[in-house]
């Protein structure tokens, strides 16, 4: 496992098409933005995934998408 330290606004690039951005930090919480193509499934770790790569319908919880303004 690669462990990195990042500050707000900094990015981590995974492969050619996934960008993880540290949107906000507050106390012991970190708000992370993930920009990935539609064909890449992105789930929180606590959500179960079936062997076919799809979410389990009884565990799936929609993630509210929040539009944020970049810091000036």
Strands 11-14 and 29-35, sheet pairing:
unpaired
pLDDT tens digits, one per residue of 2-18: 999 999 999 999 999 99
pTM: 0.63
Residues lower than pLDDT 70 in the chain = 48-72
Which residue's structure tokens are 């076919």? 52
- The pLDDT, as a whole number, for residue 57 is 56
- The pLDDT, as a whole number, for residue 69 is 46
> Do residues 44 and 31 make contact, with C-beta atoms less than 8 angstroms apart?
no
- Report CA torsion sign: 57, 61, 64, 65: negative
> Do residues 59 and 70 make contact, with C-beta atoms less than 8 angstroms apart?
no
């Amino acid at each position: 496992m690669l462990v990195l330290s990042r500050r707000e606004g900094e990015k981590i690039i995974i492969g050619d098409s996934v960008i993880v951005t540290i949107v906000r930090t507050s106390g012991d919480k970190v708000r992370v933005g993930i920009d990935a193509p539609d064909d890449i499934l992105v789930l929180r770790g606590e959500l179960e995934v079936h062997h076919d790569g799809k979410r389990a319908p009884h565990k799936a919880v929609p993630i509210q998408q929040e539009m944020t303004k970049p810091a000036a």
